Chains A and B, each alone.
Chain A
Amino acid sequence: MRTPWLRICIVPNERPLPLPFPRTRRERASCRRKDTGVRTLLILAALAGVAALSGAWFVYSGLYNLSATQQHTAPVYWLLNVAMRQAVKHHAQDIRVPPLRDPALIDSGRRLYGAHCASCHGAPGIAPDAFALGLMPVPANLALTAREWKNPAELFWVAKYGIKMSGMPAWEFRLAEVELWAVVAFVRTLPALSPQEYRAAIAGDHDRHPVRADAPGPAAGADAPRGRIALQQYACVSCHVIPGVVGAASPVGPSLARIGSRKYLAGILPNTRETMVEWLRAPQRVAPGTAMPDLGVSVRDAQDIAAYLETLR
């Protein structure tokens, strides 16, 4: 059976060619005359197939070293860095930056930074904690980041949403918008902050630890799509199979399939929006001895999660 390019590249004497690479002038001329591009497409498809197969082989071979002591190869590192920088720029472009020079805001940001950021990123004259030194990539020195990233909205975006597979967590469900901006305001002062000044400033901070504001942002009715994101942010996915949530496939606790139709929660509560919120916020009080931990879920987040779970009917 002749494939399309065989028919296209037949010389006048009907001798089939060692295709797809014609050798003589006549053969080439024959092909040039009649090549409709099909042959080129087929060659490209074959090359793409070979590339995909070698890629699949490489992945399954397990040869790429994912350990946290081994940096990516230089090309992969470059690629990831560019992708990260571009993604941050793109997603932060429409964020409106509030005034960030208010000393009170910077002051509050310094306390939040000391409580939540310094353990990984360090601070002027202060090293990151031991665990953070073993992270790959190692958390950035934010004095440099603050100097090089001109748009404060980019710092805000990274702090709020985090960065996949980098170790940078999202703070969206932990800090209110105003607190996130306070952190950004403080980070922007880092390049000009000496270790002595920083030490002097935090000397009085210890007994003034920031307290997490419950329900950051406006509680404007239960928001099921946001609840679906919250299921990830409260690590629900590491113990439950949850339909509709990618990566929620762990059978540590019961599957949440059809949880919206379930009659009882934890075996004791009739399943309503209110009892679900109660259960999500205080499992240890509702069912003492349960393996489900208290995760500090705010009222708003619990309501959103409950709204999503109700859709699993």
Chain B
Amino acid sequence: MIRAPAACLQFALLGGLVLAGCAGPDAGPTDATVRAARAEVQHGALALQRYGCGACHRIPGIAAADGVVGPPLVDMARRVYIGRGLANTPQNMVRWIRAPQAVAPLSAMPDMNVTPTDAHAMAAYLHRSE
């Protein structure tokens, strides 16, 4: 979703080519939605940093996120379960990030008052295709 158009752009720049299908209307996600998705992932990285998630979790790609209080957040796009037995969907990720105690009472993961926008962006970052 994110890489393929980037590769197309590189081709276009390098070879001076406009590859049919890359930017065409049938290419699936349009430039605008791709840019929006990328922006959300970047926002997610910032949010993960700002809320201090790295103090407890190791998060690849986030500076100084090497905590060992909770589990490492590696390969999250492929994880099947998160939190307390939640299926790893974007909605559940948002739910877990915003209100861990509602999912798992007594959980050591604190409720950080994450806004819906930030939580969605964090989920987008964690679920991005690497």
Contact = CB atoms under 8 A, between A and B. Distances in A.
Interface string B64-98: 00001111101100111101110000000000000
Interface stretch (A68-76, A117-125, A250-258): A250-258
B72 A287 contact: no
Looking at chain B's contact residues, the main secondary structure is loop
A259 to B, nearest CB: 8
Interface in B34-71: 56, 58, 68-71
Contacts of B106: 268
A264 B108 contact: yes
Given A268-B107, A268-B108, A262 B68 contact: yes
Given A267-B108, A268-B106, A252 B68 contact: no
Given A251-B78, A251-B79, A287-B104, A267 B85 contact: no
Interface string B105-127: 01111000000000000000000
Given A267-B70, A267-B109, A253 B81 contact: yes
Contact of A261 (B68, B74, B107): B68
Given A251-B78, A289-B104, A258 B72 contact: yes
B72 A255 contact: yes
A264 B58 CA distance: 14
Nearest to B71: A254
B85 A290 contact: yes
Interface in A150-169: none
A291 B81 contact: yes
B84 A287 contact: yes
Contacts of A253: 79-81
Given A255-B74, A289-B104, A262 B69 contact: yes
B68 A290 contact: no
Interface residues of A, number: 19
A257 B84 contact: no
Nearest to A270: B108
Interface in A278-294: 287, 289-291
A312 to B, nearest CB: 11
A264 B84 CA distance: 14
A264 B74 contact: no
A262 B108 contact: no
A179 B78 CA distance: 41
B72 A264 contact: no
A85 interface: no
Contacts of A258: 58, 68, 72
B69 A255 contact: no
22 contacts: A239-B80, A241-B74, A241-B75, A251-B78, A251-B79, A251-B80, A253-B79, A255-B75, A261-B68, A262-B71, A263-B56, A263-B68, A263-B69, A263-B70, A264-B108, A267-B70, A267-B84, A267-B104, A287-B84, A289-B84, A289-B85, A291-B85
Give 9 closest A-B pairs by Cβ, nearest first.
Answer: A254-B71, A267-B107, A263-B69, A291-B81, A252-B80, A291-B85, A261-B68, A251-B78, A264-B108
Given A254-B79, A268-B107, 12 more contacts: A252-B80, A253-B81, A261-B68, A262-B69, A267-B100, A267-B107, A267-B108, A267-B109, A287-B84, A289-B84, A291-B81, A291-B85
